[in-house]
Amino acid sequence: MRSTAQSGSPPTPALATRADGGGGPSWSQRLPTEWARRLSATTYTPLRPPELRGLLTALAADLETARGSADAEASLAEWGRRAGATLVDAHLTDPAALETSLLVLGERLTPGPPATAAAGAFARGFTTQLRAATLREQERLAQAIIRAQSGVERAARQSEARFRAIFAGAGFGIGISDMFGRIIQVNQAFADLLGYPVEEMRGMTIPELRHPSDPARMWEDYRRVFSGEVDHIRMEKAYYRRDGDVVWTELSVSVIRDDAGEPQFTVAMVDDVTERHHLQARLRHQAAHDPLTGLPNRSLFTERLADAIANAGPTDRIGVCYLDLDGFKRINDSLGHDVGDELLVAVAGRLSDCARAFGHLAARMGGDEFVILVERCSGPDQLEILAEAALTALTAPISLGAHRLRVGASIGVVEQPAAATEPAEIMKAADVTLYQAKAAGRGRWVRYDPAMVAEESARYALSADMPDALERGEFTLVYQPIVALPGQKLLGLEALVRWRHPELGLLPPDRFIALAEETGFIVPLGRHVLRQACRQAAVSFPDHDLFVSVNLSVAQTQEDSLVSDIGEALVAAGLPASRLQLELTESALMSPHGAGLRALRTLADGGVRVAIDDFGTGYSNLAYLRSLPVHTLKLPRPFIAGLDQAEQGGAPAVEEQIVDALVRLAHAIDLTVTAEGVETYAQAQRLSALGCDTAQGWFLGPAYPPEQLRRLAVGQPATDARSR
């Protein structure tokens, strides 16, 4: 802006642009374009460029009109005030807009009082309008602040009211504590849960709410929460109620931090899960305990055993008493399962009391098997004392309703360094040892002996090998002569089985027959022996009446196919039924399986001879004997061995009296007698004198392999030499 130094000069023309006469567009045309360009460059306008240009063009036109008016100075002042205000109204509020406008006008207007008046008025109009706009905007802003403030406060009040309602009315407990573990506030639900008044819980500390079941890591977790290391923990926790009861809760603790991230307090939420906890505990207990006796079951025992071994120190020892009731099956079968179950409950109670008295765990493994675990034992003696105590605990009769039962037990005792064993290994040892206790005669405990286990596994290996051995033809027969007394005429041969084992050499029957009976392999083995014996007898003595005597096991007599098996063997060999004798024990004959007996009758009716082996060593029903399809009684070796001492002191020895009585008995019911194991001349003489019909034994002829049988028959008349 120029000064008003030329105020004395003529006023006409009042205003002229300096560019006038330049030949281009008139200043009133160029002014808006220049003004708009420079305003846009210095200040913000929401107007689009054409809008801004339009606005300024109108102002320029008004300026033109004012300039030409009669009172130009007054008109220009009036225009200046309006133009300044117009810019502000168009949001050209930046001070730069005023400066730019005055510069543009100053450059375009001829200096002089009218120009000065216009400029001054423009500045006045701009600032007056700007002040008004500013005050208006501040007013609006203040109102907005007030509204927003009250809105926020309302929201905060509502929010706080909501939170207070949630806090107070929540179904689960909420507690707030400071970072030192002091309880600041709890809601009613929390207080009710623990049975305290709210006021009493305030000021308590979290450690005061400890419970013995709290896991060790819980306090470490809490420490980490209070030190701000973690923001959230969650656990199942028990609390004592004020009345001493226990409630189980699902507890979740969160750290609340301020804006700077500093921990301010913790919020705990607890939900009562007592019922669920008890249900889970009950389910866990059920899963780990035997429903009948309430004792820990196999799975819990196995877990405890594994834990004990896993947590044992290097010198710790561990022990197990594995107990099985003797004769429990008989009680169950004869008195019924209800009594059996009651008995198990009573036994469980006694064993459990006994184990508890020593501080050990008793468990039921299933059936009538129980086990006592000694987690840290001092040595074998401790286990043996315990086993003895367990047997003693069972000695007193058990009263069940009308019954007074005595039940014995066998116990396998294992005691080992914990570090040197595995759960499966110790249980296997206990099982084997229990079996040994049973085999040793029941009602006793047996201590684990590794040699015994080795023997057991050898037996196992042997029994497992038998089927293949049969395939490979390793089972062969030898034949022991059976001769008439007196005169020793050959009447028949007893077939005896041997196992020609590729590694162990020739095995006698006592090494494998019992095993075969245990595994059931005796049935195929017996069938094999029967066929071999029939064939070899038929081949070796085609023209003789010599009979072959074959042993039948109990299992064989119970086979439905017994009659057909024997029939097939005879037919296949071409051997008449009359030349086959079957040897059975008394118990095989007396067993309640009528089928076996019927089969024997059928066979006897067909001409097969039947002998009772080892007569007098088992249970004999003499009255019944008469009606059995039996032809011969065989007297075992021990009776015969006693005959050597006969008549030493005048009176006959007991053995001789027994043999005498048995021979008389047999003859009374029309049976013949065969003496086994005759080893001396004297024995043969005595037997002859006592009227014994036939005999066999080393003295009368050893066992011959089949290839020698033909030679044995030489000189034997092909006549019917049999006594019957």
In the complex, the residues that contact another protein under the rule CB under 8 A are 36-37, 40-41, 43-44, 46, 48-49, 91, 93-94, 133-134, 137-138, 140-141, 143-145, 147-149, 151-153, 155-156, 159, 162-163
* Of 144 and 419, CB closest to another protein: 144
Element (H or E) spanning 114, and its range?
Answer: helix 113-169
* Of 91 and 182, CB closest to another protein: 91
Three-point CA angle 320, 455, 638, nearest 5°: 115
* Of 87 and 427, CB closest to another protein: 87
* Of 140 and 241, CB closest to another protein: 140
How many angstroms separate the CA atoms of 536 and 709, rounded? 9
- Among 533, 515, 536, residue whose Cα is nearest residue 469: 515
How many angstroms separate the CA atoms of 169 and 565, rounded? 87
* Of 137 and 208, CB closest to another protein: 137
How many angstroms separate the CA atoms of 312 and 121, rounded? 104
Cis link prior to 13 (omega < 30° from 0)? Answer: yes
The sheet carrying 263-272 orders its strands as 183-186, 173-178, 263-272, 246-257, 232-240
* Of 83 and 98, CB closest to another protein: 98
DSSP-derived pairing of the beta strands 361-366 and 369-374: antiparallel
Element (H or E) spanning 101, and its range?
Answer: helix 95-108
* Of 140 and 489, CB closest to another protein: 140
How many angstroms separate the CA atoms of 516 and 520, rounded? 6
Shortest Å distance, C-beta 98 to another protein: 12
Shortest Å distance, C-beta 145 to another protein: 6
* Of 49 and 197, CB closest to another protein: 49
* Of 134 and 627, CB closest to another protein: 134
Residue type, 48: R
| Sequence-ordered strand ranges (E) for 452-590 | 475-484, 490-501, 505-507, 547-551, 580-585
Strand, coil or helix: 539: helix
Greatest alpha-carbon pair distance for the chain in Å reads 191
* Of 147 and 211, CB closest to another protein: 147
Complete DSSP assignment for 490-507? EEEEEEEEEEEETTTEEE
* Of 155 and 571, CB closest to another protein: 155
Kindly list the distances between the CA atom of residue 717 and the CA atoms of 156, 484, 646, in Å, as whole numbers in the listed order: 128, 14, 35
Cis link prior to 502 (omega < 30° from 0)? Answer: no
How many angstroms separate the CA atoms of 339 and 342, rounded? 5
Three-point CA angle 296, 301, 303, nearest 5°: 125
How many angstroms separate the CA atoms of 671 and 633, rounded? 7
